Structure 1
């Protein structure tokens, strides 16, 4: 598998104005910050309250002050208007430049994206993120191992602890199906918004959702697996040399559960 070329640079705004050269020095030289990524359709986002809560929680942990959700919504709307789009892949970043007392908010807008529904191959790698519950820019380890996986013919890297415990994908959460329940690895990881929505909606679709330890040497206990991130849901076809059945009925039910999550106006 070849590594795809980088996508075009997105439209970006800082605190409600188009990015200037001075603005862009902030993310270029200061990667201590946090962000959330979302898909916008017709000016709406699934799980918007979860995105805003993620930003506020991370901001308080990193910078010791809140990040107002209404301010963030206004900035997202302004950036979408500035880009002249209603459908987009949008990211919201929080930075605190030295000497500032208020968070600088960068909003980026690029074309909408949808995750490929083809079975994905995952290569396990010996890496776990520091402070994994915060979504942060400039994660060298994730990018490094994702590129190694791509060079080896895989679609994604699967991050694991030294004892073989599965945590998450490089840019995804991973779920497993044991024939009775959807199992999410009980390990330090980022709670992705799509995963959080599924945990909430799966019981309504008649699917039990649980968290318990998952290890590389125990993968044979699971019939199927899937990935989630802001771009959607995809089945897993293999992890290293372990093959998984793509359960079309299961994927349809998971997809229906995700579709049950309402769209919120930004």
Structure 2
């Protein structure tokens, strides 16, 4: 049986990331008040390295699509969002030689309990150092939780962060989210895929269409690994041979176990892990 490990000692807290407007000026209280009070907005997180971003076009499309969904406006017509984000990311890249994880958050400063008003959405930028080393495999526990409007990368993170904190107190690293019929959906802030010995499978269900997941699908197919979608259940996890979490911050991260289902590191799994990691790393970044 593979159970939870003792919780690791808490790491020293990082200093809070500075939040700026896209023009580089510090965000004022008025820029942040509505977001802090009502948490209505959307974002995308990307890795900036040597003036390039993997999947930049997909990240910009996400910002545009989610802006239309949450605010009912075309962001490029209303705010010049795409050009503004590119210019902001270029400025950040010039100022930092080391890779950065950058979050672009879109909100409306006139949001109240009645919802967003008529003001054009505002885009804000925050940065943190990118992870320098590959993190260890994840030890997960399954939890029933379906995010609100899962197709949108929105700022409503309370539920998933509370869930993550709870499972970490129980010795796991994170939670694998299931719907109410025990179908696998996604992770708290990442997508997940599985290998059945032949194909790399993404769970079929309502989940965020992740940029890194999209890039990995294409990279895996290019490496000759068949890919597809399938309905996957908690009960069926034991028949699968490997699992991987994906997001822009850490790229491709192996999963060690989900509760008492362990994904053994046999030679085939080890080789597949190396192939996926290398092929994702080889995905060319788009210039800013």
Between structures 1 and 2, the one with greater strand share: 1
Residue 46 of structure 2 contacts residue 101 of structure 2 at CA under 8 Å; is this kept in 1? yes
Residue 32 of structure 2 contacts residue 109 of structure 2 at CA under 8 Å; is this kept in 1? no
Q: Which residue of 2 aligns with 1:71?
A: 84
Unmatched runs of 5 consecutive residues or more in structure 1: none
Matched, 1:261 2:279: no
**Structure 2 counterparts to residues 72-91 of structure 1, below 5 A:** 72-80=85-93, 84-86=95-97, 87-91=99-103
Q: TM-score, normalised by structure 1?
A: 0.93
Q: TM-score, normalised by structure 2?
A: 0.86
**Structure 2 counterparts to residues 47-62 of structure 1, below 5 A:** 47-62=55-70
Residue 176 of structure 1 contacts residue 224 of structure 1 at CA under 8 Å; is this kept in 2? yes
SS in 1 for 2:237: helix
Residue 48 of structure 2 contacts residue 101 of structure 2 at CA under 8 Å; is this kept in 1? yes
Residue 115 of structure 1 contacts residue 234 of structure 1 at CA under 8 Å; is this kept in 2? no
What is the count of residue pairs matched by the alignment? 264
Which of 223, 227, 230 is matched with 2:245 structurally? 227
Q: Which residue of 2 aligns with 1:189?
A: 207
Which of 134, 139, 151 is matched with 1:121 structurally? 139
Unmatched runs of 5 consecutive residues or more in structure 2: 1-6, 77-81, 111-116
Pairwise CA RMSD? 1.7
Residue 30 of structure 2 contacts residue 109 of structure 2 at CA under 8 Å; is this kept in 1? no
Q: Which residue of 2 aligns with 1:236?
A: 255
Task: Determine the C-alpha separation between the residues in 2 that align with 1:151 and 1:260.
Answer: 36
